[in-house]
Amino acid sequence: MENEKKVEKKNSGLAIAGFVLAIIALLSSLIPIINNMSFLFAIVGLVLAIIPLFKKNVKKGLAIAAVIIAVISMVLVFASQKVYGDALDEVSNELNDSFSDADGTNTDDILENDLDVSIGNINITVDEYGLTDSYLTVTIKNKSNEKFSGSVSIEALDENGTRIDTDDVYIDSLDAGQTQEFKIFTYISSDEVEKMKTATFKAYSVSKY
């Protein structure tokens, strides 16, 4: 009889310990980073609570409650970590998109979804003193639903596709649907004048800030 009481006391202690650990795991299961330990507490609590279930002459109510709470805690840990992981992935993707927008990597997407870039003809005049006056008109339309700030890099190519020169259009808070005209290539070196007269112009990089 005395041995049975000792067994009952020992196993009741396991059930209590398992219940306490399960409760701790449950209370911390939704806390980021900390819930990694919560999962460990839940496993240990589950193991401690299961042992008394296989013993005779032991009250099993507390042990069963500990098992249930431990399992719920583990499920919550998995669920919360997935939610937090998805949120971090989303933030990471947004940051990557922002960097790609800023460094010109997303040029094709920006031209397709945000901007319409129309390039006019180069205007070059050389006065009697050999001074060159020039400009290329670039018309930018914001076709997105938000204000746009950024830059558009235009390159001049010769008939062989070799780059002659480049210039940039800088856009500051262009409203949705708004169109703005810019003039670039206002300076051309004398040795490039003839090439620029027959050059082909295109947008090769667009950055969004």
Give strand pairing partners of 169. 152
pLDDT at 169 over 90: yes
Q: Considering only residues 149 and 100, tell me which one the structure prediction assigns the higher pLDDT.
A: 149
What is the arithmetic mean of pLDDT over 122-144?
A: 89
How far is residue 185's CA from residue 155's CA, in Å, rounded to a whole number? Answer: 10
Confidence grade of residue 11 (pLDDT, cut at 50, 70, 90): low
pLDDT of residue 159 exceeding 80, the answer is yes
Instruction: Copy the structure tokens of residue 160.
Output: 């062989």
Tell me: pLDDT of 160 over 50. yes
Mind listing the pLDDT tens digit for each residue in 22-67? 999 999 988 888 888 999 999 999 999 998 888 877 788 888 999 9
- Look at residue 1 and tell me whether its pLDDT is greater than 60: no
Q: Tell me, what's the pLDDT at 12?
A: 72
pLDDT, position 54: 84
List the one residue out of 200, 167, 208, 207 whose CA is nearest residue 185.
167
Tokens 């992981």 locate to 85
Side chain identity at residue 174, one-letter code: L
Tokens representing 139 are 């018309």
State residue 97's pLDDT score. 67
Which residues have C-beta within 8 Å of that of residue 92, sequence separation ≥ 6? none
**Given a cut of 60, is residue 10 above it in pLDDT?**
no
Of the two residues 56 and 142, the one the predictor is more confident about is 142
What pLDDT score was predicted for residue 134?
Answer: 94
Q: How far is CA 184 from CA 2, 102, 122, 164, in A?
A: 99, 21, 9, 14
The pLDDT mean for the chain works out to 88
